Amino acid sequence: MTAPQLEILPDKPALVQRALALVVEAIHSAVADHDYCTLALAGGSTPKPLYSGLAEQDLPWEKLYIFWSDERYVPLDHPDSNGGMAKAAWLDRVPIPPDHILYAPTLEGDPVASARQYEAMVKSIFGGLQGLGPSQVPRFDLILLGMGDDGHTASLFPHTEALGVDDRLVTVGQKGSDPRLTFTAPLINHSHRVMFLVAGADKQAALSQVFAADGDDEAYPSRLVRPQGELRWLLDRSAVGDLDLAATATS
């Protein structure tokens, strides 16, 4: 693992513009290197304007493969669906081949079976792209993540069973009584690049613990994200406040 790169932007619009530039660069870099780009999206409100911005770019759409790092267990047309949000803001507006968009299955009525189905979908795509065997871990070009005010990321919530799953690519994350599908920490950590997008003053307390030298991984699951490749945090000024997160932070 390399040291995380921190960038502190003045506000959320500046964060979105910086994220847009970095995602576009990552797509072009991946396509130049191996002729495709595998990208896992985050949900929540912060990345929505990023997705709208991506819809305005001139990108090699036919070379993109889109996944989700987590999904709520609701239909695609539900207001809370991460896939539905990205579909409306971005994916319906560009010519990505439909079979390159891997929406998480959430209609089976059995979250455990759905998690295994989504894992099989991920393995199938990467088997074709990278020739991976059944026991090999796919390596995404870029995984986008957010962070909740409780320190969770994807649907890896504090003190839940999903945090300890190390033999699956996808598992069931639990927020109270609501099941969700989520990438596991080992899958996230195998990525070439991981980028957090974090905005809002309500994130300060969690950030102070995520970056603490003696913080608790079980209490603040974003600490579990320690990828083999690049780890970048984009933070807006309100999320940071007066925190001194790292000497390497830039403003």
Render pLDDT for 38-89 as a digit per residue (tens, 0 to 9). 999 999 889 999 999 999 999 999 999 999 999 999 999 999 999 999 999 9
Q: What is the CATH number of the domain that holds 117?
A: 3.40.50.1360
Average pLDDT rounded to a whole number, residues 87-96: 98
Q: Is the pTM of this model over 0.85?
A: yes
Average pLDDT rounded to a whole number, residues 102-107: 94
Domain containing residue 16:
5-240
Say if 183 falls within a structural domain: yes
Angstrom distance (rounded) from CA 128 to CA 132: 8
Angstrom distance (rounded) from CA 232 to CA 192: 11
Averaged pLDDT score across all residues of the chain: 94
Number of helices (H), then strands (E), in the chain: 7, 9
pLDDT of residue 245: 83
pLDDT of residue 249: 37
pLDDT of residue 247: 38
pLDDT greater than 70 at residue 2 = no
Strands 70-72 and 142-145: unpaired
* Angle at CA of residue 156, ends 154 and 157, nearest 5°: 120
Say if 11 falls within a structural domain: yes
Say if 103 falls within a structural domain: yes
pLDDT greater than 80 at residue 232 = yes
Strand ordering across the sheet containing 230-236: 5-9, 230-236, 193-198, 142-145, 37-41, 64-68
Computed on alpha carbons and rounded to an integer, the radius of gyration of the chain in Å comes to: 17
Say if 246 falls within a structural domain: no
Number of domains in the chain: 1
- Torsion angle (degrees, nearest 10) of CA 25, 31, 34, 35: 180
Render pLDDT for 139-193 as a digit per residue (tens, 0 to 9). 999 999 999 999 999 999 999 999 999 999 999 999 999 999 999 999 999 999 9
pLDDT of residue 133: 83
pLDDT of residue 161: 97
Say if 59 falls within a structural domain: yes
Say if 159 falls within a structural domain: yes
Is residue 229 within 8 Å of residue 1, measured between CB atoms? Answer: no
pLDDT of residue 251: 36
Which has more pLDDT, 85 or 249?
Answer: 85
**What is the DSSP-derived secondary structure letter of residue 59?**
-
Angstrom distance (rounded) from CA 193 to CA 216: 24
**Best CA proximity match to 101, nearest among 80, 113, 86, 81:** 86
Say if 180 falls within a structural domain: yes
Q: Which amino acid is located at 99 in the chain?
A: D
**Best CA proximity match to 44, nearest among 116, 173, 144, 190:** 144
Say if 80 falls within a structural domain: yes
